[in-house]
Structure 1
């Protein structure tokens, strides 16, 4: 069945998920490129910093920075997958057939993806704080790190797990109904 996107909300959702997946892909490529750049040019970066701030700064914290970049790439990849699952769900709504077992699986996967992101944000915040402390040695460096608990993210994860069960139950009820007709 071909999806119908006469509904402006569904069309906006589809377009937004495509745009966001594109942005995640771009961000993933850029941050991935930064990993070898930092590793290959750390001596040049350190020389430049030492030239400008010799009395203030130690060398750039290369491994924490690379670790942060690796975590960012992982978060971006998980977010890319999340928006792909959401786009697939939007497609089934456009087809007027949202209560399918695949959507229950998609919602469940989306919850696990967001949970993984939340877990990855813990070491990301620690590395970010370490790098921010290093950057504070440089004048005019303004780096802030939000290292708090994201209650909205946790609520979203719980909501997605519950919706996955609702969709699974809805799909089972529909199969039972079709079986009795």
Structure 2
């Protein structure tokens, strides 16, 4: 069986890296939607890229502030700058792969509920997020097939890793919640 090595990436907060551009399919946001607390009306999507998450959240009726650390049209570097004027009730994003831990640390500083779509591994910082910070995981039963930088998706692309939503402030009640991700659901890409 062929294996794909997991390679660590250097964190560069001002420079885009090819592995950071894996876009979120619609069904990944649909899996999260039923867990978003009803009190949340406005959401900050701080790594919005091409608005895949933002568009789905808006369809669900949320007011969405979309910014990105690279895109010049809605630029706001979430890692380097603090938004003192934030009026959103929550942060929901698929952070750049190489900056996922920095995004987590910054989300904690805002002290509002958040959900980060990240690889489902047991890194020390993720274990500590659960043990000491009260984070909870929403884990799909199948891998999320991201839309790749060269637009491969669905049958043409498979993820090298299992993903999860790492949440804080959603008050799910369990450290791990598994959600069904059927093959039919995976057809809902965009």
Where on the TM-score scale, by shorter chain, does this alignment land: which range?
A: under 0.3
TM-score, length-scaled by structure 1: 0.22
Higher strand share: 2
Q: Which has the higher contact order (CA 8 A, sep 6+)?
A: 1
Rg: which structure is higher?
A: 1
